[in-house]
Amino acid sequence: MKKFLILIVIIVAGYFAYDNFLKEKDVLEVKGNLVKMKEGVDIDAPAIQPRTWGHIEGTVKNISENDVNNIEIVYKINGRESVARIKSLAAGEEVKFKTDKILLNSYEASHFLEKLNFDK
């Protein structure tokens, strides 16, 4: 019975050490939405089709205790990269971002956060 209790204590201590010291902590919290825009076209020029553009607008928040520099947020919209860059964020600071515009092939474009790069 003592061996079993010692084993349980070792497992709990190992999990505690991993969770607090070894596990990678989240540094940035990113929330973004796809914004779509359609060009206007003159009714006298029926051969010209309106194009649809899209970009991501949202917020990024530093949830760590340290400053974060050179933040690069990369979204994929219709299989193409759309990038936003932020110079630095202080601890607990939240800032709005806007990515580059991308020409959309369809109005219901797929989009997702591909990469999040930064310097600590």
Task: Decide: 53 and 104 in contact? Cβ < 8 Å.
Answer: yes
Condensed to tens digits (0 to 9), the pLDDT of residues 45-94 reads 666 777 889 999 999 999 988 899 999 999 999 889 999 999 999 988 99
Structural domains in the chain, sorted by start: 27-40+48-119 (2.60.40.10)
Residue with tokens 């932020």: 86
pLDDT band at 16, cuts 50/70/90? confident
Task: Please tell me the pTM assigned to this model.
Answer: 0.74
Task: Decide: 63 and 49 in contact? Cβ < 8 Å.
Answer: no
Task: Decide: 71 and 60 in contact? Cβ < 8 Å.
Answer: yes
